[in-house]
């Protein structure tokens, strides 16, 4: 068995609330995601789904338990090291795109490479190839604010995939799109992740989109239910 790309071991997350005690967002969650695995996570708002993704990306740290990416326990890393592993091994896709409106489509896709001090022709070639795969090769010089919502999410997917991350995390990636564009974007995300062998964990309210994954897990009141 190969080492999991992402692993949670008895992970709990609690938040203090002024005058109201603690809020438990996750309760003793354990799972492992293999290389190339595709996992959908469903659940009501406030069930802990976004908290789980933030912990998986090292954006937040658990109250107890351990999160590991590619065998590296995040608790053993300082904030700078967690930032580097997130930059090098994790791709993030959000509901609201998180693109820079003053940059062109191509420059938005290249931004992760620039942050990693990669400014050679190889990064631009990959960016152009990704944009061609998502049908935006004729829009590379357009300002992103001129794109439709579906087009902006395709650009965001290209940003996440640019540096060939081993792990893709997507938080309601179709939540800001209509049903037709949502299905197109989800199909695209799954196909591109499969082509480069990335593990994918995505949160969705849609049971139809969840059914496209290898497995669907459900979070309820911080407890993870698996088949």
> What's the mean pLDDT in 139-159?
90
Q: Tokens 């791709």 belong to which residue?
A: 91
Q: Is residue 191 part of a domain?
A: yes
| pLDDT above 70: percentage of residues in the chain | 97
Predicted local confidence at residue 185, as pLDDT: 85
Q: Is residue 162 part of a domain?
A: yes
Distance separating alpha carbons of residues 172 and 158, to the nearest angstrom? 16
| Count of structural domains, the chain | 1
Q: What is the CATH number of the domain that holds 84?
A: 3.40.50.300
pLDDT digits (tens, 9 = 90+) for 204-227: 989 999 999 999 999 998 999 998
pLDDT value at 72 more than 70:
yes
Q: Is residue 21 part of a domain?
A: yes
Q: Is residue 214 part of a domain?
A: yes
Q: Is residue 32 part of a domain?
A: yes
Q: Is residue 1 part of a domain?
A: no
Domain with 159, as residue range(s), is 6-225
Burial pattern 105-140, b for ≥16 Cβ within 10 A else e, equals bbbbbbbbbeeeeeeeeebbebbbebbebbebeebb
> What's the mean pLDDT in 126-140?
91
93 exposed, middle or buried (CB, 10 Å; 0-12, 13-18, 19+)? buried
pLDDT digits (tens, 9 = 90+) for 84-95: 999 899 999 887
| pLDDT above 90: percentage of residues in the chain | 57
Q: Is residue 125 part of a domain?
A: yes
Predicted local confidence at residue 106, as pLDDT: 96
pLDDT digits (tens, 9 = 90+) for 15-60: 876 556 678 899 999 999 999 999 999 998 878 899 999 999 999 9
């Amino acid at each position: 068995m190969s080492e999991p790309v992402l692993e949670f071991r008895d992970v709990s997350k609690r938040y203090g609330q002024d005058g109201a005690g603690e809020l438990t967002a996750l309760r003793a969650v354990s799972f492992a995601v293999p290389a190339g695995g595709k996992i959908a996570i469903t659940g009501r708002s406030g069930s802990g789904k976004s908290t789980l993704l933030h912990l998986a990306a090292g954006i937040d740290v658990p109250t107890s338990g351990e999160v590991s990416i590619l065998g590296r326990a995040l608790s053993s890393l300082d904030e700078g090291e967690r930032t580097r592993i997130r930059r090098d091994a994790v791709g993030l896709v959000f509901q609201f795109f998180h693109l820079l409106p003053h940059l062109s489509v191509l420059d938005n896709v290249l931004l992760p490479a620039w942050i990693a001090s990669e400014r050679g022709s190889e990064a631009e070639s990959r960016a152009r190839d990704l944009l061609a795969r998502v049908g935006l090769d004729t829009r590379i010089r357009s300002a992103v604010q001129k794109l439709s919502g579906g087009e902006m999410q395709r650009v965001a997917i290209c940003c996440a995939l640019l540096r060939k991350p081993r792990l893709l995390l997507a938080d309601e990636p179709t939540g800001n799109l209509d049903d037709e564009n949502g299905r197109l974007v989800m199909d695209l995300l799954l196909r591109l992740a499969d082509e480069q062998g990335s593990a994918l964990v995505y949160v969705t309210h849609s049971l139809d989109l969840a059914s496209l994954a290898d497995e669907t897990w459900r979070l309820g009141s911080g407890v993870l239910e698996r088949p």
